[in-house]
Structure 1
Amino acid sequence: MSLTQKDQHGARSQHSQEADKPHRRKGKKTYSCDECGKNFTLARSLKRHQLTHSGVKPYSCDECGKFFTQAGGLKKHKLIHSEVKPYSCELCGKSFTLAGNLKTHQLIHSGVKPYTCELCGKSFTQAGSLKRHQLFHSGVKPYSCELCGKSFTLAGDLKKHQLIHSGVKAYICGLCGKAFAQSNDVQKHLVTHSGIKAYSCDFCGKSFSDKHYRNIHLRIHTGNDVSCCDQCGKLFATDAQLQQHMFSHTEERPYKCDLCEKTFKSPHHMRKHQQIHTRK
C-alpha cells in the first residue's frame, strides 16, 4: 500500500470512528431533574441545579450574611453592595445593577398589562407579579418569623423582616451616612435629599417625599382612611380592606362557608353568616 493510499485509509478509518460515536444534537437537553422535571444540556448544569432542591447554601456574602446555593448567585448579589449600576433606562434614567432588571423595568413604560386578577380586576405587567398578588387574596400566610411570630404571605417578605432582628444595616446613604437594613429603604431615603415631594395630600395640598408619610398625614383628615378605591373613591384604613372592598365591584364570591354551600364577597360577611350555624 502506497503512502497516499495509507493516508486515505486512515482518513476513512477516523471518519468511521466519528460516525460510530453517539450523535448529540447541539442544544439537546438530555439531562432531566427528578425533582421538578427541568431539562439541561449538560450534566454539570443539572448537578448545579439540583443544589436548589437540597437546601444547601454554601456561599455567603461577607457584607450582609445572605446565603446562596451557587457561586454565580453570590457574584450577582455582590454587585448590589458595589452600588455600580451600569444599565440605565433611556426613558426615565433609572439605573440597575443587572441587565435583566432593566429589561423587566422597561415593561412599565410599555403600558401593557396583560395579566389581570380575576378576583379584583387589578392588572400586572408580568405573570409573576399577578401570581404573587393572588396569594394575598388567599389569606394564607405560611411563612412565620421564629423570633416574634409575625406571619407573611411571601417568603421574601419574611426574609426582609428578619433583617430587623439581625441588627445588620448594610445599606448606607452616601450623602448623610444613615444606615438601613434593606436596599429599598435607602432608595426611599435618598428622595429626601433630592427635595422632590411627589406625594401630595388631596385635602390640603401638603406635599411629601414619601408615600408612607403622606398616608400617615391623611389620617388627620380622614380618621384612619388612607387607601382609596379607584372605582368609587371610597377610603379605607388599610390596603387589605381596600382589596376586600374591590369584590363589591365584581360578581366574584371567593369566600365559601365550610358548613354550607353559600358564598360571600368578603370574609367579614362569611364570618357573620357562620354565626347562624354556631349560635345556640
Structure 2
Amino acid sequence: MTPRKEKSHICIDCGKCFARPSDLAKHENIHTGAKPFRCMACGTRFSQLSHLTRHQRIHTGEKPHTCTECGAAFAQRASLVSHQRVHSGEQPYRCSHCQQCFSHQSALKVHERIHTGQKPYICLECGKRFVSSSTLKIHKRIHTGEKPFSCGECGKRFIQRSNLISHQRTHSGEKPFCCGVCGRRFSYPSDLTRHQKIHTGE
C-alpha cells in the first residue's frame, strides 16, 4: 500500500494544506490575484492552467466529453453531468419554499424568484423587469421587431420558438392536448381549457 503524502505545505492566507509546493503555489494565485496563464487567441488571463485549457475549447471547438446515451458532446465535464440528467430524470435541486425539484441549479434560482418577487433583469427601453435574462431577451424583440423563428411552410415569422411550434400545428394538424374526460384532442391548450368547461359546467 502506497503511503499517503503528508500535507506539509501550508497557505499562510487561509491555512489550507497541500502535499506539493507546486499545488500550494497554484492555490496562492487565488489570494494574490495573479493570472499567469494567457490565452493566445483572445488575451484572457487565468490563475490556473486547467482553467486556460478549459477556456481554449471556446476557440478550438473541442468537445471531449460525450454522452453515452445520445452522443451529444460537451466542452466541459460539468456540462455533460448536467446534460445527463435529461436521461436519468435526476432533479437534485429542491426549492425551499414549495419543495419543487429541478435538474439544474440555474433553473431553481430562476424559479425561487417567483417566491421572492425578485426581478433583476430590466429592459432599458421601457423599464419592465424580468426574473431571467432569457425572458428579457425575448421581451426586447418587441422593441427591435426581431422575429428569428420562421415557418418553413408559409414563411411567417415569430418572436418565440414556442409560438412557431404552436403555429406549425395549423399545417401539420397535430393535436397533442387531450381531454381526460372524453378523449377529444386539441391543437392548443387554450382550446382544451375552453372545452373542459363543458364537463365542469363552468
Q: Normalising by the residue count of structure 1, what TM-score does the alignment of the two structures yield?
A: 0.42
The answer as to whether partners of 1:30 and 1:40 remain within 8 angstroms in 2 is no
CA-CA distance at 1:156 after TM superposition: 2.1
- Bigger drift between 160-169 and 147-156 goes to 147-156
The answer as to whether partners of 1:169 and 1:180 remain within 8 angstroms in 2 is yes
CA-CA distance at 1:110 after TM superposition: 0.9
Matched, 1:128 2:106: yes
Structure-to-structure mapping, 1:89-100, within 5 angstroms: 99=74
CA-CA distance at 1:208 after TM superposition: 2.6
Amino acid at match of 2:150: I
Aligned twin of 2:137? 159
Q: Secondary structure at the match of 1:168?
A: coil
Matched, 1:42 2:20: no
Structure-to-structure mapping, 1:1-280, within 5 angstroms: 42-44=37-39, 48=44, 99=74, 104-211=82-189, 213-215=191-193
CA-CA distance at 1:209 after TM superposition: 3.3
TM-align CA RMSD: 4.5
Q: Secondary structure at the match of 1:137?
A: helix
The answer as to whether partners of 1:115 and 1:123 remain within 8 angstroms in 2 is yes
C-alpha distance in structure 1 between counterparts of 2:152 and 2:108, whole Å: 35
C-alpha distance in structure 1 between counterparts of 2:86 and 2:145, whole Å: 34
Structure 2 CA distance for partners of 1:153 and 1:206, relative to 1, 3 Å: same
C-alpha distance in structure 1 between counterparts of 2:164 and 2:174, whole Å: 15
Structure 2 CA distance for partners of 1:123 and 1:49, relative to 1, 3 Å: farther
Taking only the aligned residue pairs, the percentage that are identical comes to: 35
The answer as to whether partners of 2:91 and 2:102 remain within 8 angstroms in 1 is yes
The answer as to whether partners of 1:29 and 1:41 remain within 8 angstroms in 2 is no
Say how many residue pairs are matched. 160
CA-CA distance at 1:189 after TM superposition: 3.8
CA-CA distance at 1:89 after TM superposition: 9.7
